[in-house]
């Protein structure tokens, strides 16, 4: 038999009686839901100040599985492995402690710490002295040291039961799901949006995923992988939605009509407009972003203020005060770092000389050039799915498209960089034809090119060309590869 005590996050304990009762009931239900996938007969009991878990299974794999699952449940501060003892005298407690901890404290310094609830004929201090004295006398090489010992023997006594704490594991903390209202997280697959999503889940908000696709099918597969992982790890007790919006037409409209210095802020405002419409459709009261003050040009206080004015929907920014290294450290801790590192950034989306202190009047004037029918269309065409339905899709791997550094005879190079980038640094390759076709026009114009030729896509980092090649392959254009000139 295995037994665990789940300790509540401190902020739950200080809530009013009614709120605390609701939170602990929700947590109890979540724990049952998760653990009964591994043991249908697991006993989960809400004891007001903690939750006890008992399973008749005793194998090591069950123990490790239970610990791993419980450590990722929002609302749990500690997962404590315990041995439960029914006692009549202090000596009963001591005898059980001796058998359990003797191998652990042999040759080491130790102390005994006891917490007690109920009516007894001894105090907590007297119990510590009795158990500690017996261990000191009967375990070879063990010696009592009250400050900074090698081992602390922890025992909790409640009425006629003693719980000998064998190991303590740190939990996720936070509030149980869903004790807060739903939120819609703008997920891009990078470090920031993944960590922001995690923080909202930890805070007890059922967090849905909103993906603005800027990089085609390959990008969507990658973001689905990140989203599914976060949901599975930290909020699988509740259904959530994954919403995908094809934002490439919006990006194309911005690149062609908006002043370069305002592109970043206008793009964010378009995302907030779209996000607010989708949130309203789903009856979700708040958006979540991974923005942090000063991290990029659109995240200065002045620009964030301009972005916020585009909608009345609440915008939450849980990372607003964190620096990049703190965010990356959290990504490493929660397991998203490798996926975030592999997620590409998209050349041509952000202007070279962005305005870091834009004015609302200037942005509104620029947006008058924007065709809002484009935005309305992509929102109307948003694809909404239950995240559980994409489990198989998240397991897919994006195969790398073939790339070359030496061009074959007769090859045509398509420079897919933005017009601004191409103007600043025109691509010329002696002996080969070079055409400029921005990445945001590939989907609609590649089919107009002569299909009896081989095409090699080029962009500065080679990332966008890789993704666009994969997308063209999916559409049946197999005469496309990536051009990566040797340095």
* Nearest CA among 116, 114, 97 for reference residue 158: 116
CA distances, 297 to each of 46, 180, 357, 449, 464 (Å): 49, 32, 8, 37, 22
How far, in Å, CA of 193 to CA of 184, rounded? 11
What are the DSSP E strand ranges found in 187-308?
Answer: 205-213, 241-246, 286-288
**So what's the pLDDT on residue 272?**
97
Could you list the beta-strand ranges (E) of 9-75: 43-46, 50-55
Residue count (the chain)? 487
Quick one: three-class SS letters along 357-371? CCCHHHHHHHHCCCC
Please name which of 78, 73, 81 lies closest in space to residue 23, comparing C-alpha atoms.
73
Q: What is the DSSP string of 120-140?
A: -SS-HHHHHHHHHHHHHHHST
What's the rounded Cα separation, in Å, for the pair 414 and 421? 14
> The tokens of 42 are what?
């697991």
The residues, any chain, with a CB within 8 Å of residue 327's CB and separated by 6 or more, are 191, 192, 195, 290, 292, 319
* Residue owning tokens 């949130």: 279
Residue 4 token pair: 């665990």
**Is 281:246 a contact under the CB 8 Å cutoff?**
no
> Edge to edge, what strands does the sheet with 314-316 contain?
314-316, 286-288, 180-186, 205-213, 241-246, 383-386
In the structure encoding, which two tokens stand for residue 344, read together?
Answer: 């590409």
pLDDT of residue 398: 41
CB 56 within 8 A of CB 49: no
Among residues 427, 459, 471, 482, the one annotated as catalytic is 459
Neighbouring CB atoms inside 10 A of 68's CB total 11
Mean pLDDT by groups of 10 residues along the chain of 487 residues: 92 95 96 95 92 92 95 95 90 92 93 93 94 94 93 91 89 96 94 96 97 80 87 94 94 90 93 97 97 89 94 97 95 86 58 84 94 96 91 50 83 86 85 87 86 90 72 84 83
List all residues 6 or more positions away from 352 whose beta carbon is below 8 Å from its beta carbon: 260, 420, 421, 424
How far, in Å, are 124, 126, 144 from residue 149 at the CA level?
19, 19, 8
CB atoms within 10 A of CB 126: 14
| pLDDT value at residue 397 | 39
Helix or strand (DSSP H, E) at 3 = strand 2-8
* pLDDT reported for residue 77: 96
Active site residue 347: no
């Amino acid at each position: 038999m295995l037994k665990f005590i789940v300790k509540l996050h401190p902020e739950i304990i200080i809530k009013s009686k009614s709120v605390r009762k609701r939170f602990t009931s929700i947590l109890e239900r979540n724990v049952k839901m998760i653990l009964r996938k591994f043991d249908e007969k697991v006993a989960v009991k809400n004891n007001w100040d903690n939750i006890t878990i008992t399973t008749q299974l005793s194998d090591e794999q069950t123990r490790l599985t239970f610990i791993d699952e419980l450590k990722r449940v929002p609302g749990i501060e500690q997962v404590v492995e315990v041995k439960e003892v029914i006692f009549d005298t202090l000596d009963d407690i001591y005898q059980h402690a001796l058998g359990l901890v003797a191998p652990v404290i042999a040759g080491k310094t130790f102390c005994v710490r006891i917490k007690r609830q109920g009516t007894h004929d001894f105090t907590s201090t007297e119990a510590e002295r009795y158990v500690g004295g017996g261990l000191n006398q009967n375990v070879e090489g063990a010696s009592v040291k009250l400050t900074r010992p090698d081992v602390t023997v922890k025992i909790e006594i409640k009425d006629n039961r003693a719980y000998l704490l064998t190991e303590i594991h740190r939990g996720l903390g936070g509030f149980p799901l869903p004790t807060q209202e739903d939120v819609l997280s703008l997920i891009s697959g990078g470090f920031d949006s993944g960590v922001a999503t995690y923080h909202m889940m930890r805070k007890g908000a059922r967090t849905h995923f909103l993906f603005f696709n800027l990089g085609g099918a390959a990008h969507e597969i990658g973001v689905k992988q990140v989203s599914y992982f976060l949901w599975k790890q930290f909020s699988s007790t509740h259904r959530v939605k994954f919403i995908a919006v094809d934002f490439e037409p919006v990006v194309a409209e911005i690149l062609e009509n908006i002043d370069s210095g305002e592109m970043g802020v206008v793009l964010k405002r378009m995302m907030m407009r779209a996000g607010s419409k989708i949130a309203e459709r789903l009856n979700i009261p708040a958006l979540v972003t991974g923005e942090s003050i000063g991290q990029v040009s659109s995240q200065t206080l002045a620009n964030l203020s301009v972005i916020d004015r585009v909608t009345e929907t609440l915008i939450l920014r849980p990372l607003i005060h964190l620096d990049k290294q703190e965010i990356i450290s959290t990504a490493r801790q929660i397991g998203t770092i490798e996926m975030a590192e592999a997620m590409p950034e998209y050349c041509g989306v952000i202007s070279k000389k962005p305005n870091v202190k834009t004015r609302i009047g200037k942005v509104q004037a620029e947006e008058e050039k924007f065709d809002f029918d484009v935005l309305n269309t992509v929102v109307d065409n948003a694809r909404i799915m239950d995240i559980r339905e994409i489990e198989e899709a998240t397991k897919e791997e994006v195969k790398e498209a073939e790339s070359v550094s030496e061009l074959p005879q007769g090859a045509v190079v398509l420079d897919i960089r933005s017009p601004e980038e191409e103007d600043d640094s025109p691509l010329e390759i002696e002996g080969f034809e070079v055409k400029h076709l921005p990445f945001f026009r590939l989907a609609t114009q590649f089919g107009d090119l002569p299909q009896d030729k081989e095409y090699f896509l080029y962009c500065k980092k080679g990332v966008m060309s890789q993704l666009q090649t994969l997308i063209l392959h999916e559409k049946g254009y197999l005469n496309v590869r990536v051009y990566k000139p040797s340095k």
